[in-house]
Chain A
Amino acid sequence: MSEETLLLNRLRALEDDSNGYYVVLFHTSQLRPANRKKHYLDIAARAFDNLLSNFEATLYKMSSLDFVLMCHEVPVEEMDPVIHKVRQLFSEDPLTDSEDGSINDKFTTWYDLSQIGDFSTFVEKANVLAVEAAEQKRREDEIRSPNALPGERLGPKTAGEISQKLQSVMIEDLIREQTAVVMLPGAKGDVMFREQYVSMSDLQKRVAPNVNLFGSQWLFQFLTETVDRRLLSVLAARDLSNLADSISLNLNISTVLGREFQYFHQKVGEGTNKVIIELQMVDIFADMAAYKNARDLLQNNGYRVLIDGLSPLALQFFDPAMLEADLVKISWGQEFEAEGEEGRTDDMRTVVKSVGAENIILGRTDSEDAIVWALSLGINRFQGYYIDTVVEAMVVKGII
């Protein structure tokens, strides 16, 4: 029986006498996707262990990933530390920004079931959750149809086989392009560069349709080293000495310091000022000396170096200016626009000051709001799905 059904049955049993009962609903389904993971919530649920064993309380874990805590005669002050604990776990999530029990509290809702109004409101809520759960289960079953094999976990052995295949598989037709633009006053724009990348999901379909390449972060990173080399060799075969617009490539530092890049460099010739090399934060921090070598090597030869992979969260902890690159790409995230999130916009303001607005690109721009927000901070360089449509429109109008 599903948790939703168990909850509904319990509520039905309480219809006659709900004295001393109350419910705390945790809106954990509203966490950011990064935090809304089943194993995170399983860990969070353990915060209730003491309460459940010492009092008359039941925890229902909804399929939506919300928690319903049903209590009978549990002193309210016993609840507070538990809620606080769960909140703390997600303290970086905008959902927990408002204070416990404040008018803006989006994290929990309390229902006093002995009050007829609260009781019926909650029953309604429980019904909605049950319908949603059934709907979700139906969708999952559909996906798990007999034809679709579940994605195999990416282990070292599989990674080795995939890496072998990557050496020879055709990738020319999987190279995609995403344009970064500079927005200029008067609805004008300019191409800043065109990022060249291999579509990993298409590549997966070609080399390992049944393996989830993203299943293991480190093995995925390992595979990107081979992809880098293939991408470089394909691009090196093109005419790079006479590029109309600048291009950018996202590479591992080990690739930049390797042989294939040397060959690529020879092909680029005098055109290095039109090539931007994007490097990942995690790669940089893994070996700062290697990063400095790669950066100096690139900059001394006329390339521009871009730091990629900066999330809004990361900005709270580092100042990318210290890396002395030419450009910094920061991913747009809802944290930036959320209400009462002045603090996070302040982080961005600090970065604008230390890096220089003209050296910042807002990546993953997915809405008009993101653009408006960035422009208000002086940032006018963008990339992302929303920008793709803007670029298309500009091409149609002949602006670009």
Chain B
Amino acid sequence: MAEPDKASKHVPSQEKLLLDYLQRLDEHRENRKIVHLHLSKLKPYNRREHHVQAAVNGFENLIQGMFGQLFTLKNNDIFFFFTDNATAQTETVVQKVRFLFSDDPMLEDEPPNENRFSTWYDAEDQYEEVLKLVQNIMKVEEASKSRQQTRMDARSALKTRQKEGDPMTPEILARVEAVLERADLSNLMRRQFVCGVDRQMIPEQSFSEMFISITDLRETLTPGTNLMSNRWLFQHLTEALDLRVLSLLLKSDAVAISGDISFNVNVATLLSKEFQDFDDNIAASKRGSMIIELQNVDVLSDLGAFLFAREYVQDKGYRVCLDGLSYETMPMMDRERLGVDLIKLMWNPAMVDGGPDMHKNMRAMVKKAGPSRVIMCRVDNREAIDFGQSIGIGLFQGHFVESLIAEDNRRRELLRLKRRMERSEEEAEEEEGL
């Protein structure tokens, strides 16, 4: 398939040209103005190629008359630089262009004292502001370009195989499921804590998730096979795993675990006889300390079944957590409407590069969902916690959190030792004093 970006590798992008132009403008700021048209905020169906072209055409006369210079960015935003004496004309053109999009919800719902369509700058005293804005737009653009390609051509398939093992096949799945029915998985059961983390990076345990480690399962059952290489087959495997998890949880040691625990199952499992048996064998008082985690994809594959199952288990006293949200899917899921108690957002370093607009949106989403109801998971470094806290998240889970707990335990241990030493010193002193 033709690479759409191939051509642009040789021709500098509009973003690059805009930045160059801005840097040159630094010396000639006087009598220059800039207008930024926010076409990127329009609905996608209103910013197809011909729409943007129509907007650009509006400026044609001004450009030909050497009154200004125009840049169209990849996100469809337009920057127009013009000289003072063309202000009135530019205003008329912008008004006309705006009219093209007047039925877009952005403009239809615009409050009278707000201008969502365009922002106007005076180069003389707002130069730095515009420079920063453009640099930011470029950063977001770069980040999205570097987004990992998931092409599955022969080359990348080979690369994946070398790195992650042979792909999963239905035959392997059948074998694994057969083994699962008999194998004792209790030594593959893992526990990971969900913690509140304060500014000093001190963790406070909220509850712990019990799960079967897929990596260890793979090492035990099918070394060299990537169990997750096919999404649908993996999803089927999780249904078989669910039943094992339920029976493991019923074993006294797992249920006797102190504190609240969570576990991941499929919606179909909640509606199965096995879950009813599990539920019958759980002390009623224990249900309140259990959180059932459901995967985003599973929930979506049959919303009706999810709503039914959620109602059923919540009524029994379990809490429900929606797992597997990414920063891309989170804006589309309304916690309150879905009726779940908690949601889990997967950490992804790309969130940091998302730009101020995205950060603002995420902060608003966390606030809406309720800060004590959002957990950032797969936290593997400090950056994740810093970022999470910056958008209002208070609960975290992942390898880095585990290391914080270990560190905290060491710290407490040291503190205890220190106290003991101090006490024995005191005692020694007292004895001496006698």
Contacts and interface: CB of A to CB of B under 8 A. Distances in A.
A314 B233 contact: no
Contacts of B296: 285
Contacts of B331: 322
B147 interface: yes
B295 to A, nearest CB: 9
Nearest to A321: B43
- Prevailing SS type, chain A contact patch: helix
B152 A288 contact: no
Contacts, number: 150
B151 A287 contact: no
B338 A287 contact: no
Contact of B4 (A39, A222, A292, A300): A300
Contact of A88 (B43, B235, B311, B329): B311
Nearest to B154: A259
Given A35-B304, A89-B311, A321-B44, A160 B169 contact: yes
A157 B147 contact: no
A292 B328 contact: yes
Given A262-B153, A301-B4, A156 B233 contact: yes
Given A88-B311, A90-B308, A319-B332, A155 B174 contact: yes
A92 B174 contact: no
A257 B405 CA distance: 41
Nearest to A224: B232
A42 to B, nearest CB: 9
Contacts of B272: 39
A289 B150 CA distance: 8
B411 interface: no
Interface in A284-335: 285-290, 292-293, 296-297, 300-301, 311, 313-314, 316-319, 321-322, 324-326
A318 B332 contact: yes
A174 interface: no
A384 B232 CA distance: 28
Nearest to B301: A282
B177 interface: yes
A358 to B, nearest CB: 8
A155 B177 CA distance: 10
B199 interface: no
Contacts of B305: 34
A289 B311 contact: no
Contacts of B1: 261-262, 265-266, 297, 301
A63 B364 CA distance: 50
B225 interface: no
A359 B44 CA distance: 11
B161 to A, nearest CB: 15
Interface string A249-272: 000001001110110011000000
B151 A257 contact: yes
Interface of A: 32, 34-35, 39-40, 43, 46, 85, 88-92, 155-157, 159-160, 163, 216-219, 221-222, 225, 254, 257-259, 261-262, 265-266, 281-282, 285-290, 292-293, 296-297, 300-301, 311, 313-314, 316-319, 321-322, 324-326, 353-356, 358-359
8 contacts: A156-B177, A258-B153, A285-B296, A293-B147, A301-B1, A317-B303, A322-B332, A356-B43
Interface of B: 1-2, 4, 43-46, 105, 147-154, 169-171, 173-174, 177, 230-233, 235-236, 239, 271-272, 276, 296-297, 300-305, 307-308, 311-312, 315, 326, 328-329, 331-334, 337-338
Given A265-B1, A287-B231, 12 more contacts: A160-B169, A217-B301, A218-B239, A221-B235, A257-B150, A282-B301, A286-B231, A289-B328, A293-B147, A313-B303, A313-B307, A318-B332
